[in-house]
Amino acid sequence: ATHFKIEGLRAAIEDKEILKGIDLEIKGGEIHAIMGPNGTGKSTLASALMGHPKYEVTAGTALLDGENLLEMEVDERARAGLFLAMQYPSEIPGVTNSDFLRSAINARREEGNEISLIKFIRQMESKMKELEMNTEFAHRYLNEGFSGGEKKRNEILQMMMLEPKIAILDEIDSGLDIDALKIVAAGVNSMRSEDRGFLIITHYQRLLNYITPDYVHVMMQGRIVKSGGPELAQRLEDEGYDWVKEELGIVD
Ligand code: ADP
Ligand code: MG
Ligand code: MG
pLDDT digits (tens, 9 = 90+) for 136-186: 999 999 999 998 899 999 999 999 999 999 999 999 998 899 999 999 999
By CB atoms closer than 10 A (0-12, 13-18, 19+), residue 207 is buried
Atom of ligand 1 nearest to the CA of 201: 2
> Is 2:197 a contact under the CB 8 Å cutoff?
yes
Residue 242 CA to ligand 2 centre (angstroms): 18
CATH number of the domain encompassing residue 126: 3.40.50.300
Q: Say how far apart CA 72 and CA 77 lie, in whole Å.
A: 6
ipTM over 0.85: yes
Ligand 1: residues with CB < 6 A are: 13-14, 18, 36, 38-44, 54
> What pLDDT sits at residue 29?
97
Residue 45 CA to ligand 1 centre (angstroms): 10
- Express each pLDDT in 44-69 by its tens digit: 999 999 999 999 999 999 999 999 99
What range defines the domain where residue 105 resides? 3-248
Q: Whose CA is nearest to atom 6 of ligand 1?
A: 41
Q: Whose CA is nearest to atom 18 of ligand 1?
A: 13
Domain count, the chain: 1
